[in-house]
Amino acid sequence: MTDNRTPHLRNLILDSIPVAMVTMDADFKINSFNNHAEHLTGFSAAEAIGKPCHEILHSSKCDTECPLQTTHEYRESSTGLEAEFINRFHEHIPVRIGTAAIENDDGSFIGYLEVIEDISREKALEREKNNFQFMVAHDMKSPLVAMQGLIRRLREHHDEMAAEKREDYFRIISEAGEQIEAQVMDFLEYSRQASNKIKLHLEYTDLPQLITKLVQRHQEQAAEKQLTIRFQNQAMTKIKVDPRQLQRVFENLLDNAIKFTQQAGEILISTKETAKEIIIQVKDCGPGIATDELPFIFDAFHQHQESSTGHGLGLAAVRSIVQEHGGRVAVQNDPQQGAVFTVRLPKN
C-alpha cells in the first residue's frame, strides 16, 4: 500500500531547507522547485517546472563554466562555486552554487540537483567593512589633518596674525568639524538601519499623491540643469505603508536622478499596479551605471564612480526601507541610456 503522505512530507522537507534547491531531468528541464528557489528567482514553482533551466536560472557562470555541464560530463559533484545570480526583477545576488548528478537505484543517470545559497548578506558585510574603513581613513582624515594644522598655526602665530586671518581659520575649522559630525551622523543612521531598527508607522497611503508632491518640490532643482520631471501616473489602490519612510526612498531616487544626469533631458517616474504589488520606476537620462557597479549599488559606503561626494548611504537606506515593507528594489541600465530604479511594494 502506497503512503500518500510521502510526497507531501518530501515537499515539506525541501521547503524547510534554507537554500534554493532545484532538480532537473536529464534534458535540463526543471521538475522540482522549493520555496527558497521561488524567493531567490522571483518565479513560482508553477512557472518554473517544465522550463529549461537556462530560462529560470541566470548566473554569471552560465555562458562560460556552467556547473551543470561539468556535472553532466564528469558525473562529479561541485560545491562552493561563487557566482552572481540575476533574478526576474533584475536584482544582482551573490550566490554559492553546488551541483550533483541524480541516479536511480541501479546507478543510471536521471537528472541534476542544483543548490543555490544566497550569500548577499555575507558579501555585503565584507564590502561594507572595507568601504567604511576607507571612508574613515580618507574622508575623516582630511578634515582632521586640516583642523590640526590650522590649530597649530593659531597657537604658534596667534599674536602676530591679523584678525581677519584668524576668523578665516576659525571658519575653516568649524566647517571641518561640521563635516566630521555629518559623517558620524551618517554612520549612526546606517547602524540603526543595519540593526533593523527602522520603526514603520503604517497607514493607508495614496502613493501617486505622495510622489506628485515630491516631483513639485524637485522641479526647481531639476530646472537648474535644464531637466524636466514627468510623472506618468496611474490611479491605484491605497496601500498600507509608512509615508514618511517612503518619502525618503523617492527623495533619494529623485536626488540621484538629478545629480547624475549631466545634460538637458527628462526624468520619468511611472507607476503600475498588478494583482499583488505596486511598481514604481524612476528613469533618468544620464550615463547609466557601470556594469561592474550594478551588484554593489545598494551597499552602504559604496560611492558611484561619477561621484566624489557623500558616503553612499542614500541607496543603502532605500533598500533597507523597501525591504522592511516586504518589497524589493533593483536597478538596471536602459538600452537608450540612463538608469532605471524599480521599487516593488506588496499590496498586502
Q: How would residue 29 be classed by pLDDT, with cut points 50, 70 and 90?
A: very high
Which segments of the chain are extended strands (E)?
Answer: 20-25, 30-33, 78-86, 92-103, 109-118, 203-205, 227-232, 239-241, 265-273, 277-283, 328-333, 339-346
* Residue 347 clears pLDDT 80, i.e. is over it: yes
pLDDT at 309: 45
Q: How would residue 292 be classed by pLDDT, with cut points 50, 70 and 90?
A: confident
Amino acid letter for position 33: F
Q: Tell me what the mean pLDDT of segment 86-112 comes to.
A: 88
Q: Tell me what the mean pLDDT of segment 326-341 comes to.
A: 84
Q: How would residue 282 be classed by pLDDT, with cut points 50, 70 and 90?
A: very high
* Residue 294 clears pLDDT 50, i.e. is over it: yes
Q: Kindly report the pTM of this predicted structure.
A: 0.60
Longest dimension (CA), the chain: 103
pLDDT at 8: 64
More confident residue, 117 or 75: 117
More confident residue, 16 or 38: 38
pLDDT at 310: 43
CATH topology assigned to domain 5-118: Beta-Lactamase (3.30.450)
CA distance 175 to 262: 28
pLDDT at 344: 95
Handedness of CA 165, 169, 170, 175 (dihedral sign): positive
* Residue 74 clears pLDDT 80, i.e. is over it: no
- Do residues 287 and 258 touch, judged by C-beta distance below 8 A? no
pLDDT at 175: 87
pLDDT at 3: 55
CA distance 211 to 226: 21
Which segments of 218-338 are extended strands (E)?
Answer: 227-232, 239-241, 265-273, 277-283, 328-333
- pLDDT tens-digit map of 311-328: 456 788 888 889 889 999
CA distance 207 to 238: 7
Amino acid letter for position 168: D
What class has domain 123-194?
mainly alpha
CATH topology assigned to domain 203-346: Heat Shock Protein 90 (3.30.565)
CA distance 135 to 148: 19
Q: Which helix (H) or strand (E) holds 138?
A: none
* Residue 105 clears pLDDT 80, i.e. is over it: yes
Q: Tell me what the mean pLDDT of segment 220-239 comes to.
A: 88
Handedness of CA 159, 163, 169, 171 (dihedral sign): positive
CA nearest 303: which of 132, 145, 179, 144? 132
**Domain spans of the chain?**
5-118, 123-194, 203-346
Residues 308-326 as b or e (16 or more Cβ within 10 Å = b): eebbbbbbbbbbbbbebbe
Percent of the chain scoring above 70 in pLDDT:
85
Q: Tell me what the mean pLDDT of segment 74-88 comes to.
A: 83
Q: How would residue 1 be classed by pLDDT, with cut points 50, 70 and 90?
A: very low
- pLDDT tens-digit map of 132-185: 666 666 667 778 888 888 898 888 888 888 889 889 889 999 988 888 887 777
Q: How would residue 242 be classed by pLDDT, with cut points 50, 70 and 90?
A: very high
Q: What is the mean pLDDT of the chain?
A: 83
Q: Tell me what the mean pLDDT of segment 31-55 comes to.
A: 92
Tell me the chain's radius of gyration from C-alpha atoms.
26
DSSP code, position 292 = G
Percent of the chain scoring above 90 in pLDDT:
30
